[in-house]
Each structure stands twice: as structure tokens, then as C-alpha cells.
Amino acid sequence: MGGLQKKKFERGSATNYITRNRARKKLMLSLPDFRRLCILKGIYPHEPKHKKKVNKGSTAPRTFYLLKDIRFLLHEPIVSKFREYKIFVRKLKRAYGKTEWSAVERLKENKPTYKLDHIVKERYPTFIDALRDIDDALCMCFLFSTFARTGKCHVQTIQLCRRLTVEWMNYVIASRALRKVFLSIKGIYYQAEVMGQLITWLVPYQFSHDHPTDVDYRVMATFTELYTTLLGFVNFRLYQSLNLVYPPKLDSKAELDLKEENEDDYAMSSESYYEKLSALSSSLARVVSTEEEEEAKLDQFPVEGEDMDKMEAREKEQKQLEVQKKIFEGLKFFINREVPRESLAFVIRCFGGQVSWDKSVCIGSTYDVTDETITHQVVDRPNVDKQYMNRYYIQPQWVYDCVNAKILLPVEDYFLGVTLPPHLSPFVEEKEGDYVPPEKLKIMALQRGEQPDGEEEEEEEEEEEDDDEEEEEEEDEEEEAEEKNLKKMEKQKSQGKSLEVKVTPGKLKVENPARLEQEEQAEEKRLAIMMMKKKEKYLYDKIMFGKKRKVREANKLAAKRKAHDDAEKAKKKKARK
């Protein structure tokens, strides 16, 4: 025989993975540095398929990285920057210890810095890749831009985040890319479609944060470092694609409009320009000033059969989108001071509306409350002292609901002091068999152009359904009664008692052939299920369990809704009496 005996764990998956500690040693980095490197380079642990094989027979819980990933990190230029920084810190400490202030100053001037441009390019080789991953970057930047400028992180970072988010919002306004908005208890979700990519981000409500103690801000800061770089480059590219000037500048016309005599009272001149930008009330300057964009029309290609239908559907969608983009066109909004200004201004401007607010709220207001041409005033208080005749006083939810419904909803439900209809999530797409809240059905009817009197019909339908169910129940009951009777007779027979002989007219039992067939088929299926293999049975059971749970949940929601409506009705009746 001869030959060397094969050793275990020297080939196969055991050699493809490396534990975190070994990776760290291989890179000669401290744990915080390793963590930072992983965050910046986007290296994450992998779950091996056979953990025991990779773990050399042990079952201890360990995180594994791909060896290839770690090798890839070895040549990263930023690692040497980390080392330089480490040395810098050591020198600085020493200088401090020796109270050599001049040395401290000199060292601080030469503080090593690094750029993340190449990493961004490497992680996102194409622009679309970057856009696909921008969700988290936006969320993080929006969060950091709301931080107070003390404590938790560098002021520059906060300022940069704010700047980038304002740029992003200005871009979304300019490109009219916003599609959906959702007011949740966590914050406001926005969804925009940028270059065919759906991008969702979450903005917290404008409150100061109480910073939790169990959160490591260094990790967040490292992420933010990468995200700001990424977002900056993305913004640049996006502005370029729209022929906008980057860094953003206000339109010359708008700039004149916004000029105020007492501007200096508000802020320093350098800051006020930026503040005006972040007020989101006016359009941006373009490199090539084109007043109207030429709409790229879809070319007509001769198509046939199924493609035709698809094509038509797409065209229809396109038209709908065009309509949605312009739903607020021609409307003039005025925002009261108790309403979140930035969010509303952003949304209204995204859909072509004009918006303004009280001068004392924020810089950048374009007209006053007294303006006669205002069509809607957004108010979030029970009543207003002085009401103007020719405008609607509406609650802010109207704006968001209109955007999600893609049409202008009737304003009556959103007047001052009126109990608002529920605000639904635009991200839920109901499939067959899912529960659909009645409000959604109503909106869908409105979208189809139907009059909002479909309610009664629905109710009638529901009642009919109920009747059907009742009938079935009755049948069941009959069967049960028969069975009971039979049992009783059997018992009497077995006890030897003479039966009460009585002839009753027999009932004609109508057999429903369709139902019989159904039952037969159901039994066939049950029997076939018994013959399934163990593995398939397990899978089948799992799928069926999921399906059943879905149905159960939908039923539960429907029942809850019904109970609620009934309670409401009863209350109303009582009130009427």
C-alpha cells in the first residue's frame, strides 16, 4: 500500500474558512482596527455549510470568515494608515505626557488621514451597485444629521451628514423621484425610484435623542464615515445626471426672491445660503438652463400577442406615474408652525406643489398666510382662530395619503378636528387570500374612478356570505341530530327494551352531487398524503402550516375589524337615541 496517510482538515472546506481571531492575527491588527476594516471593506462572516468540518471536529460556537476575504484584506492600503494612526496616537500621548505643547501642535497638524474613495469604488464597481446599497447610508446619514452637536460624535460629521441629506432631498425634488411616503411610529419612511432602483429610507421625527448607553457609537461612526463618502459620490453623480450644479446652488431667480432685508439677523451670510438650500422651498441652478425637460417618449415597436399586453400595461403604468408626479401641481400650500415643516415641504415639492410657511419658523418662506391664492393650509390643531374663505384647512395626513393613493383624495375626511381615517402602509401589496383593510378597498375604488358609495353593496355581499355559512351550519346540525337519534335507538335496542314503534314520514335527503364529489376528492387527497415519503411529508406539512397560519391571521383580523365596527355601530345607535 504505502503512501502517506491523509491528514484530516487539510483540504476541503476546513481550509476555506478562518476564525476571527486567526484572521486578526494574520492581519496583525487589534480587534477595534479589524472591526473597522471589516466595516469599511464590507467583509462579513460566513456560515459554513458543515460547521463541524470547518471547526476541525469541534462544535464550539465560532464565527468564520472566508480565507479569500482575509487574503483580500492583506493588501489593503488603509491597513498601513491604521498603523500610522496608531503611531500618531502614541506620539501624541508621549508629547502630552512630556507637556511639549509645540510638539503636540505639530503632531496634530500632521494627523494622518485617509480617504475611502478607492474602497467605495471597489465595493461598488458600478453606479447602480452603489444605488442598490444606498438605503442604509441614507438612514444613517438622516439619523446622524439629527444629532445634537455635542458629545456623541464629531461636529464635522454631523454637518457633513446634514449637507449630504439636504443634497439628496434636493435631488429627489428636482427629479420628482419620490413614490411613497409612510408615517410610522418610528419615523417617516420615504421611497424613491432613482434610475430604476427603489430606495427606501427612514427619517426620525424631529426630537432630541436620549442617547442609549448600550450602543457603541464608534461602530456607528465608522459606518457613517463610509456612508458619507458613498453618499457624496452618489449625489455628485446624480446631480450631474440632471445637469444640476454640484455643490447645489439656488436658481438665480429664486435667489433674488429669497433675498431679505433682515437676513443677517437670522444667520451669518455663509450659513444663511445653506439654510436656504435646506429649506427646500426653491429650485436649483442648472448647468445648462433648460426650462422644460423633453419627455423621453417610448418608441413604438411593432409587437404581437402577449408582448402587446405587456407593452400596454407598461404604457398605462407610465401614464399613471406621470399623473402621480403632478398631483400637487397648481396647488399652493401653507404650512402652519405646529406641522413638521421639512417633511411636508419635501413631499409637496416632490409632487409639484408650491409651499410656504411663516417667516419666523424658518428661512426661505416665499409667501405669507395672507396670500389669497393659497389653496390648502396644513394645520394640526383642533381649530384655527382666523380662517380664510377660499382655502381648505386640512390635516397633514391628507398630503401623505394623496401621495400614496396617487390621486387627490376628498378633503372632507381630513378637515380640522375630524377623526382621521386610518393611515395605511403603501408598502403592503396584498396577494390573493390576504386580509385587505376596508379603507384600502375604498381607496382602490376611488382610484378606479368609482363613486364612494360602494360600502353598502359590500355590506350586503357580506351578509349574503353569512347566510351561506348559516345554511351549511344548519345542515350539519341536522346530521348531528339524526346521528343522535340513531344512537338512542341503538342503545334502547341493546338494552332489550321494546322500541317505541312509531312511523314518521321520512325526509327526503337531497344529496348534492357537487359536494359529494368534493368530499370524495378530499378523501382521495388525504389518503394520498398518507403515502408521502417522510421527507416530503415534512416539507408539505411545513408549507401547509404556513398557509394555514396566514389564513388564520387574515380571519383574525377580519373578525377583529367586524367586532370593532359592530361596537362602533352600537355606540352610534345609542348616541342617536
Single out the residue of 5, 150, 419, 504 in contact with other proteins (rule: CB under 8 A): 419
3-state SS, 443-506, equals HHHHHCCCCCCHHHHHHHHHHHHHHHHHHHHHHHHHHHHHHHHHHHHHHHHHCCCCCCCCCCCC
Q: Please pick, from the candidates 155, 219, 287, 516, the single residue that binds other proteins as defined by CB under 8 A.
A: 219
Q: What mask of x and - would describe binding to other proteins in positions 127 to 166, judged by CB under 8 A?
A: x--x-xx-xx--xx--x----------------x------
Least CB distance from residue 179 to other proteins, whole Å?
12
Contact assessment for residue 280 and residue 248, using Cβ atoms and an 8 Å cutoff: no
Of the candidate residues 276, 363, 395, 405, the single one contacting other proteins (CB under 8 A): 395
Q: Which is nearer to other proteins, 514 or 530 (CB)?
A: 530
Measured CA to CA, the distance from residue 575 to residue 577 in angstroms comes to: 5
Q: Is the peptide bond preceding residue 247 cis, with omega within 30 degrees of 0?
A: yes
Residue 223 sits in the site that holds other proteins (CB under 8 A)? yes
Check residue 235 for interaction with other proteins (CB under 8 A).
Answer: yes
**Within positions 458 to 497, which residues make up the interface with other proteins, using CB under 8 A?**
490, 493-494
Nearest residue (CB) to other proteins, 47 versus 304: 47
Residues 336 and 381 sit within 8 Å (Cβ to Cβ): yes
Say whether residue 245 binds other proteins (CB under 8 A).
no
Q: What one-letter code names the amino acid at 382?
A: P
Cell numbers at residue 104, please? Answer: 503636540
Choose between 319 and 491: whose C-beta lies nearer to other proteins.
Answer: 491
Looking up cell 464635522 gives 156
CA nearest to 62, candidates 46, 79, 78, 73: 46
Does 380 sit near other proteins (CB under 8 A)?
A: yes
Rounded Cα distance between 337 and 325, Å, is: 26
Tell me how far, at minimum, the Cβ of 463 lies from other proteins, in Å. 19
Q: Is residue 240 involved in binding other proteins (CB under 8 A)? A: yes
What 8-state DSSP symbol labels residue 193? E
Is 324:408 a contact under the CB 8 Å cutoff? no
**Beta bridge partners of residue 356, listed in sequence order:** 334
Give how far the C-alpha of residue 187 lies from the chain's centroid of Cα atoms, to the nearest Å: 10
User: What residues from 550 to 569 belong to the interface with other proteins (CB under 8 A)?
Assistant: 557-558, 560-561, 564
Rule CB under 8 A: is residue 59 a binding residue for other proteins? no
- Under the binding rule (CB under 8 A), the answer on residue 539 touching other proteins is yes
Q: Does the footprint of other proteins cover residue 525 (CB under 8 A)?
A: yes
Cα distances from 192 to residues 121, 144, 172, 573, in angstroms, run 23, 21, 7, 45
Considering the rule CB under 8 A, would residue 498 count as an interface residue with other proteins? no
Is the Cβ of residue 102 or residue 390 nearer to other proteins in the bound state? 102
**What is the per-residue burial (b if ≥16 Cβ within 10 Å, else e) of 322-332?**
eebbebbeebb
Q: Does 210 bind other proteins (CB under 8 A)?
A: yes
CA 341 to mean position of chain CA atoms: 21
Which of 15, 30, 63, 492 binds other proteins (CB under 8 A)? It is 63
For residue 13, what is its C-alpha cell?
A: 472546506
Are the CB atoms for 137 and 231 separated by under 8 Å? yes
246 binds other proteins (CB under 8 A): yes
Per CB under 8 A, the segment of 79-87, 234-242, 358-366, 447-455 that binds other proteins is 234-242
x/- letters, 437..456, toward other proteins (CB under 8 A): xxx-----------------
CB 493 to other proteins: min, Å:
8
Q: Which of 176, 278, 396, 405 binds other proteins (CB under 8 A)?
A: 396
Rounded to 5°, angle at Cα 514 from 511 and 519:
85
In the list 27, 232, 276, 281, the residue contacting other proteins (rule: CB under 8 A) is 232
- The amino acid present at 84, given as its one-letter code, is E
| Size of site (CB under 8 A) for other proteins | 110
Q: Which stretch binds other proteins (CB under 8 A): 248-256, 257-265, 467-475, 541-549?
A: 541-549
Q: Does 513 bind other proteins (CB under 8 A)?
A: no
Choices 211-219, 249-257, 305-313, 464-472; region in contact with other proteins by CB under 8 A: 211-219
Is the CB of 109 or the CB of 500 nearer to other proteins? 109
Identity of the amino acid at 438: P
Choice from 171, 182, 190, 334 touching other proteins (CB under 8 A):
182
Nearer of residues 7 and 526 to other proteins, judged by Cβ = 526
Site for other proteins in 325-364 (CB under 8 A): 338-340
Shortest approach of other proteins to residue 315 CB, angstroms?
Answer: 27
What one-character DSSP code corresponds to residue 353? -
Q: Does position 243 bind other proteins by CB under 8 A?
A: no
**Integer Cα distance of 397 and 415 in angstroms:** 10
β-strand pairing of 392-394 with 376-378: parallel
For residues 265-284, which are near other proteins according to CB under 8 A?
A: none
What backbone phi and psi angles, to 5 degrees, belong to 313? -60, -40
The answer to whether 390 and 305 are in contact (CB under 8 A) is no
Q: Give min distance, CB of 121 to other proteins, in A.
A: 6
> What is the grid cell recorded at 264?
443677517
Q: Which stretch binds other proteins (CB under 8 A): 442-450, 454-462, 507-515, 543-551?
A: 543-551
Does 527 sit near other proteins (CB under 8 A)? Answer: yes
